[in-house]
Structure 1
Amino acid sequence: MGRLGVDDAVTTEVREDEAPAARRLPQVPGFAGRTGPGARRAEPSPKAAGKALRRQVPRSSHAGFEVSADRPDAVRAVAEGNRGRLAELIPLRVGRMAANPFAFLRGSAALMAHDLVHTPLTGIGAQICGDSHAGNFGLYGDARGGLVIDLNDFDETVHGPWEWDVKRLAASLVLAGRVAGADEDTCRKAAHDAAGAYRRTMRLLAKLSVLDAWNAIADEALVSHTDAQDLVGTLERVAEKARHNTSGRFAAKSTVVAADGGRRFVDARPVLRGIPDAEAEAVAASLAGYLETLSPDRLPLLGRYAVHDVAFRVVGTGSVGTRSYVVLLLDHRGEPLVLQVKEARPSALLPYLPAVGFEVGAVEHEGRRVVFGQKRMQVVSDMLLGWTTVDGRPYQVRQFRNRKGSVDPAALAVDQLDDYARMTGSLLARAHAHSADPRWIAGYCGKGDVLDEAVASFAVTYADRTEADHEELVRAVKEGRVAAETGV
């Protein structure tokens, strides 16, 4: 007997006068009110509500950007961003930001948040990355050994305006394109295409059932969905490199055999250095608290590893100067697993949210904020993602070198920039749709490219402003007013 399919299912037709009365069940906290064909339509649909917002906030208005009177200059903004960071690493951070305008943008999320306060907003909130520049997308490994592509940095994540992520992505693409040598039309088109891919993907998700939308656009379909065929070769090369970017490879390069037969990290300054015993012991001891943040089914896995060493390791541009450690774990065969214990500072966007009507509640733990924000936005997250506290400071914990790979948007061939823009725009929409109803945002964005054009105009204007900020920082470095360590 053949398998019963959907088309073969037995159905029973019921006349309208024989239909049973609707069952009225109590509303359950955490669930929506009754929806579907039998629901009463007391309010407009989310799509209609989103469309109605266009009257209050025209989509074309997103093109606007003007420098506010209270905007800090670039040097002061960088100095404010350095507060609380390790003093000896601040010149390294400044040097990385001074490398080019795209690098400056990467390190100035707070300055852009200050600027975005004065731009139009719909009031629709989502879990946003907060630092969704074009370099914050990439590949990483899942629990089964496969590779996933998604947003991959969430230090600034908060509940906030979806537009802020879209505009930061668009502006970063213009800057990356300029650094790569692309002409102005190509750079603007990349910003336009990123916004367009975001809009079209959100419209697609809005048409699907909730469960289908949640799991939509598998990575293997991403290239065709975003018409990014020119990027295939680059993605394949990045994927091949990512497969070898593992704890084992890092440990082989960064550790030596110790006297007891274990392994110890070796200095590779300024990026990797040993730390005093007391500091290493504090980090190692904090892993007990980290284990309490994991799902219990992960504990037998980590229970088969022993902690062998801890070192300090400098992180990326936006986080340089924060405290970050790598912890070497070895199993019974001496095979390594490396964890990163990274300081979690308050989101750089936090001071600017109340000004645009987004409430800022008490944060229980900054590491927890980062972890929960990441899990709300990614389709698949690191299975060892957690948080802890070291000497009173909050940290996030994750696998280090978990087959990570990334595309440098500032090094892309000119004909690949718009493909990359469409791919990242689509990924951003998918991430936002996990916390915001895609029907609402899709209703606002609409079918035409009015929003795409506006975002592209904003991106070009803001890229010009960022280039001026970068020039100001470079001038301060040359004049000796700001210390910088370059080339690292």
Structure 2
Amino acid sequence: MKLPRPSDRIDTLTQLRNLKMARSAHAYVRGSTVQFYDWLHSQSGRRLPSGPAVWICGDCHAGNLGPTGDLKGRIDIHIRDLDQTVIGNPAHDLVRLGLSLATAARSSDLPGVVTARMLEEMMQGYAQAFEQSDDEEPERPAQVKAGMRTAVRRTWKHLARERIERVRPSIPLGKHFWPLSREEKTAVRKLCASDDIHTLVTSLKGRSPEDRVELLDSAYWVKGCSSLGLLRYAVLMAVGEGDDQEFCLLDVKEAIAAAAPRTARASMPRDNARRVVEGARHLSPGLGNRMVAVRMLDHGFFVRELLPQDMKLELDELSEQEARRAAGYLARVVGHAHARQMDLSTRAAWIEELQLHRSETLDAPSWLWSNVIQLVGSHEQGYLAHCRRYALEH
């Protein structure tokens, strides 16, 4: 495979993103965030319930939730991708999650009535999060349990085989990793010599602030879908010396302005990298405390060490029962992330607002159902149009 030069990356990355989005309607939904935000600015999007101004994920699809580890080695299911986080309306996360779950159901060839029941379970799970503390752990659905079991067993060797294809301390260039320019290599070297990065990689359980930190290798990282085209780097580092030496893989990702609508006059960091880190610390503290905002190459970046336990949940080939349980569980995770930012009276008022506009037979508000159906239709149309353009170009 001939690897593109740094100056030629954009065309190759655009083609790759288009290919990924053409593979399935669910992949198209994950990669077409701007279409969702455009809808939020439409008349229908503006008629959503107006919730309290809290940090929201902003791109709350099912693939952005999954197992994550914290600094003390604990593992749980959290929101794990926060590029679009803003202080905004929590209803936006609910509609985005509902759209994602409905598309997953269609990809699993489940009947429409199951989608209706999934949205019902979703709203019940979300409301339950406001009645429970973070310490109360509901029973996990089968696919979530399987993901957690895998996460708990994973080690550095698993991460190395999955991300860099070898356990030796180097990053092999190829499909997923491309060469850096001279300017990028210099910038990464300077970044890794900073106090911020030293503190980040020595903060994990079992490491000492006095440990020696060394840059071993780095590369441009071809990763994600909607974010393809942004600057993103994989950085391999060594921590400690001798028999106690460990390796760590840093994800250095460019932060750009969020497309997600934000609450007017909300007080947020103006620097986009700091915004992402601040949002993460409110929504997923275990993950946010493992992140740092930096400046490099005249851009803002947020950096985190990838742990073997950081995984994406895959909701493929769902049965009817699994689909309903997954919807309730994931919505509960999002509910906890929202609820921890509200006092008791605000929680009660928000849940009361969400109880409105329900039918006698379906325990999900009509605004959620009607808007998800509208979005499923528009995204299905957008997906087919995308596939036609892709076919004509190839």
**TM value normalised by structure 2:** 0.84
- 1:39 counterpart residue number: none
Q: How many residues align?
A: 368
Distance 1:141 1:235 in 2: 15
In the TM superposition, residue 290 of structure 1 has moved relative to its aligned partner by 6.6
The amino acid across from 2:384 in the alignment is E
Shift of 1:163: 0.8
> Which of 354, 371, 388 is equivalent to 2:277?
371
Preserved CA contact (<8 Å) 2:281 2:289: no
2:110 is the counterpart of 1:197: no
Structure 2: any 5+ residue segments left out of the alignment? Answer: 1-8
For each residue in 1:339-398, what CA deviation from the matched residue of structure 2 results, as whole angstroms up to 9, or x when unmatched? 11111111122xx44xxx623667432111111101111252254311212210111100
Give a deviation string over 1:92-145, Cα, whole Å, max 9, x none.
Answer: 111111222221111122221121222313253221100001111100112232
Which of 422, 428, 452 does residue 364 from structure 2 map onto?
A: 452
Residues 65-108 of structure 1: per-residue CA shift (max 9 Å, x gap): xxxxxxxxxxxxxxxxxxxx933201111111122222111112
Q: Which amino acid aligns with 1:171?
A: L
Counterpart of 2:60 in 1: which secondary structure? coil
Q: Which residue of 2 aligns with 1:304?
A: 212
Residue equivalent to 2:73: 145
Out of 239, 242, 246, the position equivalent to 1:335 is: 246
**Partner residue in 2 for 1:469:** 382
SS of residue paired to 1:115: helix
Match of 2:147 in 1: 238
Matches within 5 A, 1:288-327: 288-289=193-194, 291=196, 298=203, 300-301=208-209, 303-327=211-235
2:125 matched to 1:125? no
CA drift at 1:321 = 1.7
Aligned to 2:135: 218
Q: For residue 478 of structure 1, what is the amino acid of its counterpart?
A: A
1:395-452 C-alpha deviation (Å, 9 max, x unpaired): 1100124412332123333320110000011111111113333223123123895572
Whole-angstrom CA distance in 1 between matches of 2:95 and 2:26: 14
Distance in 1 (CA, whole Å) between partners of 2:270 and 2:57 is 19
Conserved? CA contact 1:141–1:404, under 8 Å: yes
Q: Classify 1:434/1:152 alpha carbon distance in 2 versus 1 (closer, same or farther; 3 Å).
A: same
1:410 to 298, 316, 322: 316
More moved, 248-257 vs 152-161: 248-257
Which residue pairs with 2:4 in the alignment? none
Give the match's secondary structure for 1:409: coil
Worse overlay, 183-192 or 127-136:
183-192
Which consecutive segments of 4 or more residues in structure 1 shift more than 6 A? none
Mapped partners of 1:236, 1:370: distance in 2:
28
Given that 2:80 and 2:287 are in contact with CA atoms closer than 8 Å, whether structure 1 keeps it comes out as: no
Structure 1 residues 341 and 244, CA, compared in 2 at 3 Å: closer, same or farther? farther
Give the aligned partner of residue 3 of structure 2.
Answer: none
User: Which moved further from structure 2: 115-124 or 340-349?
Assistant: 115-124
Is the alpha carbon distance of 1:411 and 1:382 closer, same or farther for their aligned partners in structure 2, counting shifts above 3 Å?
A: farther
Shift of 1:327: 1.0
Paired with 1:296 and 1:340, the residues of 2 have a C-alpha distance of: 12
Partner secondary structure for residue 479 of structure 1: helix
Residue identity matched to 1:91: Q
Query: TM-score, normalised to structure 1's length?
Result: 0.69
Q: Is the 8 A contact 2:357 2:365 kept in 1?
A: no
CA contact (8 A) 1:368 1:396 kept: yes
User: Structure 1 regions of 5+ residues with no counterpart?
Assistant: 1-84, 206-215, 484-488
Structure 2 counterpart of 1:155: 83
AA matched with 2:172: V
Per the alignment, do residues 417 and 275 of structure 1 end up closer, same or farther by CA in structure 2, a change over 3 Å counting? same
Give the SS at the match of 1:149: strand
User: Would you say 1:89 and 2:89 are equivalent positions?
Assistant: no
Q: Does 1:99 align with 2:23?
A: yes
Structure 1 residue 432 and structure 2 residue 338: aligned?
yes
SS, match of residue 125 in structure 2: helix
Contact 2:70 2:287 (C-alpha < 8 Å) held by counterparts? yes
Alpha-carbon separation, structure 2, partners of 1:99 and 1:295: 37
Query: Are the equivalent residues in 2 in contact too, given 1:137–1:152 (CA < 8 A)?
Result: yes
Partner of residue 63 from structure 2, selected from 135, 139, 151: 135
Per the TM alignment, residue 293 of structure 1 is displaced from its structure 2 partner at its CA by 10
Aligned partner of 1:279: which letter?
A: E
Aligned to 1:282: 187
> CA separation in 2, counterparts of 1:302 and 1:172?
45
1:112 lines up with 2:36 in the alignment: yes
Percent of aligned positions with the same letter in both sequences? Answer: 21
**SS state of the match for residue 287, structure 2?**
coil
